Amino acid sequence: MWKWKHNVQDIEGEVLCVSQFTLLAKTTKGTKPDFHGAAGGDHAKDLYQYFFAKVQELYKAERVKNGVFQAMMEVALVNDGPVCDSNVLNTLQRC
């Protein structure tokens, strides 16, 4: 398994937080994704804002950028591999 040599803090990189509810979709039945397990709009927004504030608190607030929750967004970037930390997801699911 490939391992990164440096983390965001090591390289003083930037973090772009974008909500992506499709990560929790069930696709095991039929042709449409099932989002019944996703949090409702207000609760989901609160969870996302909590996550974003925590990332700012634990890193450098000026280096952490935010998208608009529930908006259609076009994001252009050069990405060296998408990251989805399952530990973060598990922590947020307990909130």
CATH architecture of the domain 8-93 equals 3-Layer(bba) Sandwich (3.50)
Question: Is the pLDDT at 1 greater than 70, yes or no?
Answer: no
pLDDT at position 59 is: 93
Concerning whether 28 is annotated as a catalytic residue, the answer is: no
DSSP string, 23-78: GG-B-SSSSS-B-TTSPPHHHHHHHHHHHHHHHHHHS-GGGEEE--TT--------
The residue assigned the tokens 């997801």 is: 89
Report residue 95's pLDDT band, with 50, 70 and 90 as the boundaries. Answer: very low
Instruction: Check residue 22 and give its pLDDT.
Output: 61
8 A C-beta contact, residue 84 and residue 47? no
Q: Which of 22, 27, 28, 91 is catalytic?
A: 22
pLDDT digit string (tens) for 42-91? 888 898 899 999 999 999 999 999 888 877 777 676 666 656 555 555 55
